[in-house]
Amino acid sequence: MVNKAPQLDVPPELRDFAEKSVEQTKKAVDSYLGAAQKAVGTIEDSADAVQASVKDLGKKAMGFAETNLAASFDLAQRLIRARDVQDLMRIQTEFVQDQVKVLTEQAKELGSIAQKAMKVNTPS
């Protein structure tokens, strides 16, 4: 007897609706990130005393946020297309493993930049 994984009976209309919802949410978040980047740019322009390392930290953090959001939207789209529970679990497990690696590297990089910024901004 072959043990077949249970299939997800998701109507095509619901799948289409979910994909459109994810895409609309992604567009809204992209718009928000654009506004946030513009605000960061305005703050940087008006604050002459801001050190280059602090600017780098802000830019890196924004870049990491964009990367992580893109990974989350990719996950959502991949989950929508999953055909069974095993596929869902595999996709989720891969995502978590990848994100742990990515977040660890991001934390190291931000920590390094922050240490440099503290050294630059600490009076001698």
- Residue 60 and residue 66: Cα distance in Å, rounded? 10
Ranges of each domain in the chain: 14-121
Which has the minimum average pLDDT: 60-64, 93-97, 99-103? Answer: 60-64
Number of neighbours of residue 104 by Cβ within 10 angstroms: 10
DSSP 3-state of 11: coil
For residue 61, which of 28, 42, 36, 26 has the smallest C-alpha distance? Answer: 36
Q: What is the pLDDT of residues 97-122, one digit of tens each?
A: 999 999 999 999 988 877 776 765 55
Give 44 or 67, the one with higher predicted confidence. Answer: 67
Closest to 80 measured CA to CA, from 92, 68, 70 = 92
7-47 confidence digits (pLDDT tens): 778 788 988 888 999 999 999 999 988 888 888 877 666 55
Residues in the chain: 124
Taking the whole predicted model, whether its pTM rises above 0.75 is answered as no
Q: What is the dihedral of CA 74, 75, 76, 81, to 10 degrees?
A: 90
